[in-house]
Amino acid sequence: MSSDLALVVVAAVWGAATGAVLPRAAYRFSAPAGEPWRERCPAGHPVRGWLGRARCTECAGQPYDRPPHAQPSYGLLTLPLATATALVCAALAAATGTRPELGVWLLLAPLGVLLAVVDFRVQRLPDPLTLPLAAAALGLLALVTLAPEHAGDWLTALYGALALGGGYFVLFLINPAGMGFGDVKLALGMGAVLGWYGWATVMLGTFAGFLFGALYGGALVVARRAGRKTAIPFGPFLIAGAYAGLLVGAYTA
């Protein structure tokens, strides 16, 4: 097995392992805006901790003829999240290679997957996830600059965070019904990771995000599942666009 293939395999295993512990956090954070994070399963039993499977042991111990709302598994299943995170991490490893910033991408990737899932389910981007992501991206990339063979620039990452966050803030002021403030805070972190590889990567990732969102919204309109003014969660497309731009930026760096 070549070293490049081994790196991709290790990254995929890391992604699968981290993605496997996301279902409980995805369930707890998937509360509608204005409501506290979920602390109980659908049957009312306490949900303890944030990481692990979305499975209630108390519901599992009830009789076979338990009521419909008392199901052992709730929220998302482990396999889809583990698979998605594994694929994301494997692709990042293939594009980045052995450069030290790969460690940052692998640490942030599970958080990006979690944010995309939560926003897609309840159109909400939790502050406990978006703000730490931005801080972690800039902090970790600052450490990467101390390592040899890195291929990015920290100041451009900082400026990218400010530029993308500022741009989304302007969009929020213009049309707060179409752009949530959570998207503004998420844009800080996405701008940081894109800015690491330069302004061309920032522009590519930004364009890709809007393109993905427009294609999704257009598909819903064509399928008559939404109208022209129907609100859609933009966070998943902001993340997907940043992911696409990051792959291109890492591969060409």
Contact predicate 178/166, CB 8 Å:
no
Sign of the Cα torsion 249, 247, 171, 30 reads negative
Cα 210 to Cα 111, 197, 230, 244, 246, distances in angstroms: 21, 20, 16, 12, 15
- Residue 237 CA to residue 216 CA, distance in Å, equals 9
* In the block, residue with structure tokens 């076979």: 64
- Mean pLDDT in residue range 106-129: 95
Which range is least confidently modeled, 30-44, 49-63, 237-251? 49-63
Q: What is the pLDDT of residue 250?
A: 96
Mean pLDDT across the chain, nearest whole number?
90
| pTM: predicted TM-score of the whole model, two decimal places | 0.92
Q: Where are the domains of the chain?
A: 99-252
- pLDDT per residue as tens digits for the range 153-195: 999 999 999 999 999 999 999 988 778 899 999 999 999 999 9
- Mean pLDDT in residue range 127-132: 94
